[in-house]
Amino acid sequence: MSTADIQHSTAVAKRRATTTPREARMLRKGLLFAAPASLLLVLIYLLPLIMLGGFSVTDYTLGALRWNFVGIDNFTAAFADPVFMRALWNTVLYALIVIPCGIFGGLGVALLVHARKRSRGFWEFAYFLPVTATLVAMATVWQFLLHPTLGPVNAVISFFGAAPVSFLGNPSLLIPTLAMIGIWQVIGFNMVLFLAGLTAIPQDLQEAARLDGAKNPIDRFFTVTWPLLGPTTMFVTVTTSITAFKVFETVAVLTKGRAGSETLLYALYLEGFDYSNTGYAAALTLIFLLIVLVLSIGQTLHLEKKVHY
């Protein structure tokens, strides 16, 4: 590089480093406009998280005037607590059922609805209706539907000669039953997302694949539709996973957390609000947030490598 080039580069760098009065005013205005949103983020997200971390290392109970610093005792007590470990396993089992069924169920429904012409609007409304319904109210409806003697589900089972099934009374059926309700809840939302992805796929690619030899719709699905739905599938997977780990309403209404149906959110709700163990509940909340964060980031990093934008 010549001396002239070096001098020119130095002059450009100095001009860039020097802020003009107009640029300074624009910077102050920008910071002023960003201040309310930044303050809101601090008050709503950052400050409560800091307070949560502070409570998690104390033995504070709701309403107490004094508390002691206990370090990581709350966290070690959580993993030694059989109730918390059972709630963790129940939540994982629930998620293992809801996540794949919710994703592929939503995709299947979206493919069927997308192929409809005249009745598409009706089916979209019918499948999306559970998303708009209040889950607490619908949980009460499910309680009636699954009743061992009065419910229509067991009436159908008895009609075929089988013995009535206590879906909400048998401990081994509690989590699968709750997972079935969870799948019913998320399929409509996932259907809408997949429909948006299907609508964005150019029909020219489908026609080109058909001309290239992919006569069967299944072949065109795996060669064209499924790869182009990669970004949508990644988003649906992450959102469904978070929703599955946040299961609470159905447990609170249908089982009230009796043995065999505890979940993470319900366990920390009991500790924090029923038993007033605020410090211990804060530690459980941090564990829950860490699990969801690791799961979301892990899924995003893993799936992003396979997604072609």
SS3 content of the chain, % helix, strand, coil (to 5): 75, 0, 25
CA distance to 120, 121, 122, 168, per residue, from 117 (Å) = 6, 9, 10, 40
Of residues 255, 8, 155, the one with CA closest to residue 267: 255
Amino acid at 1: M
| Cβ contact 275:188 at 8 Å | no
Segment 94-105, tens digit of pLDDT: 999 999 999 999
| Cβ contact 111:103 at 8 Å | no
> What φ, ψ does residue 58 adopt, rounded to 5°?
-130, 170
Q: What is the mean pLDDT of residues 57-72?
A: 86
Segment 271-303, tens digit of pLDDT: 888 888 889 999 999 999 999 999 888 888 877
Segment 151-191, tens digit of pLDDT: 898 898 888 888 888 888 888 889 999 999 999 989 999 99
Q: What's the token pair of residue 235?
A: 């988003």
Q: What value, to the nearest 5°, has the Cα angle with vertex 265 and ends 262 and 270?
A: 70
* Matching CATH number, 73-304, of 1.10.3720.10, 1.10.10.10, 3.30.70.1290, 1.10.1270.20: 1.10.3720.10
Task: Indicate the domain borders of the chain.
Answer: 3-56, 73-304
CA distance to 45, 46, 100, 220, per residue, from 41 (Å) = 5, 7, 33, 46
